[in-house]
Structure 1
């Protein structure tokens, strides 16, 4: 839909140029922080903890709310997350290329940033849930808690895959930007068509990679200046057309008007929404940049940049912990726990959000102790010799990381899935610090 102007071809040599100050854009960091806040508030509002006739109830509080589907058109920010990720991936890849790194070194840097938080999460949550089951907490409640905690892991799995493919996708974008976008769009539409025609939802999970690679590719258009070269009316028109197309697709069926229902499995609707969000963000980006450069916002945004992944992974465990505390207080002191969506429940949400923020901050600071421990070796660049000891090729480490996170995402936080996940993530972590099996895609770019 961004067809107002053909992008200036990016020379292969441009991918390796030295970064300028504009490579770190405060507006990008601010948008990422805003997305995290939206996700935090949304997930906090989804937590419903009450006591029914059969005992404690932990549920999705917004599941029966009639206003949820319309609200998703505003709070579904995952496409913008991946657009920003595409921008960041493109600029980081150029930066690494300028320092002599190849594609394998780039993938290792992403692994190191993402795998360590995942190891801490899987180890702690698996242990805690096993202890709770052993002391007699109802099995269905333990299973529900594990399911809720594991939900954010889909993002980590997909983000690992998309991030690792940035060098290859940047290579394609530099040569055939519109052809690449078109091919990914056709592939996503084809997966949707096959899924709805067959009635087999599992077919749609192919789009976990296709749709998010497509949205990440939109971020490349922001990073290489294509979007900024469009006039403001053209970008406004692009956003309007994208939203109109999205509404038309949903009206024609079979896509859901609930944009969160389009998330699992992902559909082409999310990519269309991503086009609209990209265009709108590009319009507000200058004003957002000026605001983000002020001292106080700058400090707050820097905190989100430092703790962002930790916050994302640990906010739901913090919510479950807080829900457990509320249940204890209910039984010990008669603390009222209103049923979700009642008037009393809505009136108590500000208090709940404040408590959730406090508990999450404490949990995040504790979890970050593991993540901040020195583990990263020196920067790996082309020409380095393999480190001594057991070496894991990056071509093995990336799939191991994806499978490790996927194990608990699909199978839950049980003893054996947790152990399998930790083994695979340990392999991935080792691969993040070795040169063995380096994929020198950079030489092809």
Structure 2
């Protein structure tokens, strides 16, 4: 299973080995991501024009709150559980690494092509219509903020077959090696951050897209093996508290930022502690969560959101921006960001955002749920071609992560994504076609 594999209507008929709590956590993370992104967009309208601010930064406790609200580390952990489960299932059916990666590319990239097509077209139309460049740059950058995840997740997915072998042979040494590499990268990056030569140390930190996100994915492998089940509830909660205690000297007295959102791109080692604390809490609450996921309406929500999770993730920010744009056109009142009225109006906007996201995702989810099976008369591309397609798919969101979305990289990014899908879709088998014609 992966972020796009929750396709069953209810728990009835699901394999007994399926962990519905993992599905619940994935969906809960999606609700949290949409909420955080909505709250980070404060629109102000006055005689000076339209302003966009992040109201959350005005909260004195915001940085500390990210230790609990930053859910992407947990998302990579449950993604690791799902990835190892899918990989082992594929192996039992005789599949190999090329087939696994091909399936991942199709599942993740096909829905992304639709988003890139929409964004490229919208940005070209806005440019032709004379929308001010500064305003368009802000809108475009906001619409592409979430795309970093595609680059990071595809990199981690490409690692699954190899890291599964390492996990099978030496699970603890693999975790230790990833952790050591992540710390070394941070030391180099932070050590060079204030160098007198003006050297940009952030590119060094990009190596932690492999080590930090990969380490969190590896923790998901331990989850899949039932490793966390060996501990009592009090031990899990004590370990979670220990992770947070370690964060205190690393952030308040050390070189790391307190804000875990700041630590996300490029990722830094404290995210591992946040993810580990979260999964410990999940396992401590596991019996209660198991009862919760058996409730009928909870399962319906899990299916509705989980069956289109990737589509929702990709589209929620552009649609939130569009929602605020419509509100501006209709001249709806915009309370001062972070004011009491602003906070009181957020639940209504949150519900409206979800209604819009679910409506738009209904036709688009077909791209996410479409079969990855080869069409009759086609053969699977060689593994090296699939690897090339994966690189092509990683480049566009990676560039957006580094330089923000604009008209140019939305356009050439769309071309690369289409090419990646075309490569992994398969090629016609000439001999089969000749036999069919005779």
TM beyond 0.5: yes
Task: Quote the offset at 1:254 in angstroms.
Answer: 1.2
Matched ranges for 1:356-375 at <5 A: 356-371=353-368, 374=370
2 CA distance for matches of 1:103 and 1:319? 37
* Cross-structure match for 1:242: 243
- The verdict on how the C-alpha distance between 1:279 and 1:369 changes in structure 2, with shifts beyond 3 A counting, is closer
Two-structure CA RMSD over aligned residues (Å): 2.4
Aligned equivalent of 1:304? 305
Shift of 1:99: 0.9
User: Could you tell me the TM-score, scaled by structure 1's length?
Assistant: 0.86
- Compare 111-120 and 137-146 and name the one that shifted more: 137-146
Q: CA deviation at 1:336?
A: 1.8
CA shift at 1:290, angstroms? 2.2
Written as runs of structure 1 = structure 2, the 5 A alignment for 1:348-359 is 348-359=345-356
- Asked if 1:340 corresponds to 2:340, the answer is no
Report what 1:397 is aligned to.
Answer: 389
Q: Distance in 1 between matches of 2:415 and 2:185?
A: 32
Shift of 1:119: 0.4
Match of 1:425 among 417, 432, 437: 417
Measure, in 1, the Cα distance between the counterparts of 2:309 and 2:380: 30
Distance 1:366 1:133, change over 3 A: farther
Distance (Å, rounded) in 1 between the aligned partners of 2:334 and 2:215: 43
Which aligned runs of 4 or more in structure 1 are off by greater than 4 angstroms? Answer: 369-372
The structure-2 alpha-carbon separation of the partners of 1:177 and 1:94, relative to structure 1 and needing over 3 Å to count, comes to: same
In structure 2, the CA distance between the partners of 1:411 and 1:201, relative to structure 1 (3 Å rule), is closer
Instruction: Tell me the equivalent position of 2:230.
Output: 229
The alignment of Structure 1 onto Structure 2 pairs a total of residues equal to: 408
Q: Are 1:51 and 2:51 matched, yes or no?
A: no
Alignment partners' CA distance in 1, 2:384 and 2:46: 51
The alpha carbon displacement at 1:49 in A equals: 1.6
Q: What residue number does 1:316 align with?
A: 317
1:248-305 deviation per Cα after TM superposition (whole angstroms, max 9, x unaligned) = 2112211111111111221100001111112111121232122212322112111122
Contact 1:393 1:435 in 2 (8 A): no
Give the deviation of 1:58 after TM superposition.
2.8
- Point out where structure 2 has 5 or more consecutive residues left out of the alignment: 1-13, 194-200, 429-438
- TM-score, normalising length: structure 2: 0.87
Report the CA distance between 1:162 and its aligned residue.
Answer: 0.3
Report the Cα offset of residue 22 of structure 1: 4.4
Contact 1:82–1:212 (8 Å) recurs in 2: yes
Residue-by-residue CA offset, 1:143-181 (whole Å, 9 max, x unaligned):
111111111111111001101211110100011111111
C-alpha distance in 2, partners of 1:279/1:414?
40
Compared CA separation, residues 22 and 161, structure 1 to 2 (3 A): farther
